[in-house]
Amino acid sequence: MLSKRRKAVKKKSKEVQKMLDSKPYAVDNCKILQDMLFGTHKLCQEYNSENCSSKKARLIKELLNFPPDSPPYLEAPVYFDYGVHTTVGKNFFCNFNCVFLDCAKISIGDNVFLAPNVQLYTAAHPLDHKERRETEFARPITIGDDVWIGGGSIVLPGVEIGSRVVVAAGSVVTKNVPSDCVVAGVPARVLPTLSPPSAVSRVSH
CA distances in angstroms from 56 to 60, 76, 172, listed in the order given: 6, 10, 31
Instruction: List, edge to edge, every strand of the sheet that includes 98-101.
Output: 78-80, 98-101, 119-121, 154-155, 172-173
Any catalytic annotation for residue 205?
Answer: no
Instruction: List, edge to edge, every strand of the sheet that includes 93-94.
Output: 73-74, 93-94, 113-114, 148-149, 166-167, 181-184, 189-193
> Angle CA(109)–CA(111)–CA(117) in degrees, nearest 5?
90
Give the SS3 label for residue 203: coil
Q: 41, 125, 129, 205: which is the annotated catalytic residue?
A: 125
Q: Report which DSSP code applies to 28.
A: G
- Backbone φ and ψ for 5, nearest 5 degrees, come out as -65, -45
- Active site residue ranges: 125
